[in-house]
Amino acid sequence: MSRANPFGDLDDFGSDNAAKPIPAETIEKIAKSSGFPSRKAGVAAARETGETAPPSPAPSPARQPRRHVTGRNRQINIKATEETIIELYRIADAMNLPLGAVLEQALVALERQRDP
């Protein structure tokens, strides 16, 4: 006994007519008239449309990657304010220590302060 192939006859689902390609210029005109922004880079898009590119926001200063081989192999995820995070990185950079070492020293100092 053989089973019928469920995908054997799919002619009923065929397309009635093939899609006709739309010129890119037409799409650009429709998008511009509808107020859709271009996904192209600012300078390239400005050259094509003749408009001036909006000024790009100033990038935030990138931190140098920290690569310390310390033997610390556990990760901790802490929510903090932006100011606290900036201060933590500033201290770590000034002391040339990894963040884990700064946390360890801070905890030791806090414990000393708590003990009368």
Residue 40 contacts by C-beta under 8 Å, 6 or more apart in sequence? Answer: 48
Residue position matching structure tokens 């898009």: 45
Whole-number pLDDT of residue 83: 96
Whole-number pLDDT of residue 109: 96
Are 70 and 98 in contact by the 8 Å Cβ rule? The answer is: yes
DSSP state of 1: -
In order along its 116 residues, the chain shows pLDDT tens digits of: 678 888 877 777 777 777 788 898 998 899 889 988 877 766 565 666 566 655 666 666 777 776 777 787 888 999 999 999 999 999 999 999 999 999 999 999 999 999 87
Whole-number pLDDT of residue 115: 84
Whole-number pLDDT of residue 50: 65
Helix (H) / strand (E) element for 33: namely helix 24-34
Whole-model pTM above 0.75?
no
- How buried is 23 (Cβ within 10 angstroms: 0-12 exposed, 13-18 middle, 19+ buried)? exposed
User: Which one-letter amino acid corresponds to residue 36?
Assistant: F
Are 102 and 91 in contact by the 8 Å Cβ rule? The answer is: yes
